[in-house]
Chain A
Amino acid sequence: MLTSLICALLMATPSNILFTNGTVIPVTGPDIEDGHIYVENGRIMSVGPAADFAAPSNTQYQIVDLEGGMVMPGLICTHSHIGGWGGGDRSSPMQPETRILDAIDVQDPGFRRAVAGGLTTLNIMPGSGHLCSGQTVYVKLRNANTIDGRLIRLPDAQIAGGLKMANGTNPQNGPPFPGTRGKSAALVRQRLIEAQEYANQIKRAGDDMDKLPPRDLALETLAEALDGTRVIHHHTHRHDDIMTVLRLAEEFNFRLVLHHVSDGWKVAEEIAEADVPCSIIVIDSPGGKQEAIDIDFKTGKVLTEAGVSIAYHTDDWITDSRYFLRSPALGMRAGLDRETALRSVTINAAEMLDLGDRIGSLEVGKDADLVWLSGDPFSNFTKIRGTWVEGDRVFDIKESEDLLFAQGGWGAGNAERPYMCCEEHVHGGGQ
Chain B
Amino acid sequence: MDFDDTADEAAYRAGVRELLDQHAAELVRLDSGEEAADAAQQERALRQTQRVLAEAGLVGVSWSREHGGQAGTLAQQAIVNQELARARVPTLINHIGLGMCGPTVVAHGTPAQHEKYLARLLRADDVWCQLFSEPASGSDLAALRTTAVLDGDEWVVNGQKVWTTLAHVADYGILLTRTDPDRPKHAGLTMFVVDMHAPGVTVRPLKQLGGQSDFNEVFFDDVLIADSERLGEPGEGWRVALTTLLNERVAVGGGGNDLGLSIESLATLARDRVPQLPPDRQVLARQAVGRASVAALANRYTGYRRYTAISRGGLPGPEASAGKLAGTAAAKLVADAGVRLLGDDAVYSRGPDSDDGRWQRNQAWLPGIAIAGGTDEVLRNIIGERVLGLPPEPREDKTAPFNAGSRS
Q: Do A and B bind each other?
A: no
